[in-house]
Amino acid sequence: MRSKKAFFLLFILSSALAFAQGKSAEIGFITDNDLYTSSKNDMYYTNGLELFYRFLSKNNNPKINKKITEFRIGQYIYNPRFINKEAITLNDRPFTGYLFAQAGRSFFYQSESVLKTDFQLGYMGPNAFGRETQESFHRIIGYKDVYGWENQLHNALSLQAHVLYSKKLFVNTNNDFVDLHFQSEANLGTIFTGVSTGFLARIGFKKLLPVYDSNLFDASVSSAVQYNVREFYFYAAPGVNYQFYDATIQGSMFNDNSPVTFDLEPLRFNAEAGLKYRQNNFNISYSFMYRGRELKDPVHDTNTGYFYGSIRLSCLLK
């Protein structure tokens, strides 16, 4: 009798393991807004929304732990520091929107290095519906009216390529709660062209997951069955950016007839810090972003560095 019960339990367990699946896809969104840092801070990069879906891709390279393919759509909105009626001519940054679709592939190596590549197609200008989105959002939440969109940049087609490489430092140091990474990235296209480099550090409140399984660079999806997965850490990423071209400030490279444009402040200091958390199938994070002064404003001289908040939520799927 006991042998029959043992066989039955073994059969149930084997069946469960046979049909168990890893979480090989992820869906979620990212929302950026300067109101996430201050109710009085509404300037420059004022709002962003991205929706994404990513999934594991076939991988036959033993040096690569996993490959992930991602599709994303998003909209960014930019405006000057002052958007009240009295300051309609006081523009220290152009009004504009940027709407895009993106496809990318990420490679997560066994060494915990990361290579991310993606391509974007979209529009900057009225075709990006930045004015409609911002004015509607302000009406819904009862926030102040926005004035000055009649001065927005003209339409420009977006063709963009982006690459990011991150390398884990001190890989032979055995520390389960702290790690350090060197990272560099580049953008090339009709809207943004620039390079950035800097460092990223993680400090774990729990034992850190390897980069190829962590939500640090969006690698939570896995073909392996994972039980009771948790991660919670603080991260900080200071860096330097050199911007060669930014159509959201300079206008389209194919025409110069937008009503308000500026020359770039090409060398900037940027920084990012925040908290990231995962509980099994759910990822959530909050990030504080600082961007150094981006343009030269010889007339008003009011343009400064700025900051905003970013919130990310996602769910893992079979």
Q: Which of 65-69, 128-132, 201-205, 224-228 has the lowest mean pLDDT?
A: 224-228
Q: Compute the 3-state secondary structure of the chain and give helix, strand, coil in percent, each to the nearest 5.
A: 15, 50, 35
- Which pLDDT value is given to residue 198? 98
- Which pLDDT value is given to residue 8? 47
Class of 22-317 in CATH: mainly beta
- Which pLDDT value is given to residue 11? 41
Q: How confident is the model at residue 41 (pLDDT cuts 50, 70, 90)?
A: confident
Q: Which of 2-11, 71-80, 243-252, 258-267 has the lowest mean pLDDT?
A: 2-11
- Which pLDDT value is given to residue 276? 98
Q: Kindly report, residue by residue over 284-301, the tens digit of the pLDDT.
A: 999 999 999 999 987 777
pLDDT at 280 over 90: yes
- Gap between the Cα atoms of 204 and 74, Å rounded: 30
pLDDT at 247 over 50: yes
Q: Kindly report, residue by residue over 117-156, the tens digit of the pLDDT.
A: 999 999 999 999 999 999 998 888 877 788 899 999 999 9
Output the six-digit token pair for 199.
């460092």
Closest CA to 156 of 256, 242, 76: 256
Q: How confident is the model at residue 318 (pLDDT cuts 50, 70, 90)?
A: confident
Strand pairing class (64-79; 44-57): antiparallel
* C-beta neighbour count of 142 within 10 angstroms: 6
Comparison of pLDDT for 147 and 235, the residue scoring more: 235
Phi-psi group of 228: left, alpha or beta (phi > 0 → left; psi -120 to 50 → alpha; rest → beta)? left
pLDDT at 76 over 70: yes
Q: Side chain identity at 304, as an amino acid letter?
A: T
pLDDT at 2 over 90: no
- Which pLDDT value is given to residue 21? 67
Output the six-digit token pair for 183.
């990272």
Q: State the average pLDDT for the chain.
A: 91
Q: 45 has which bridge partners? A: 78
- Which pLDDT value is given to residue 16? 40
- Gap between the Cα atoms of 211 and 166, Å rounded: 10
pLDDT at 222 over 50: yes
Q: Kindly report, residue by residue over 15-31, the tens digit of the pLDDT.
A: 344 334 689 999 999 99
How much of the chain, in percent, has pLDDT values that exceed 70?
93
* C-beta neighbour count of 95 within 10 angstroms: 27
Output the six-digit token pair for 309.
């908040």
Exposed / middle / buried, residue 193 (Cβ in 10 Å: 0-12, 13-18, 19+): middle
Output the six-digit token pair for 32.
């950026």
Exposed / middle / buried, residue 31 (Cβ in 10 Å: 0-12, 13-18, 19+): middle
- Gap between the Cα atoms of 68 and 58, Å rounded: 9
- Which pLDDT value is given to residue 145? 84
- Which pLDDT value is given to residue 40? 73
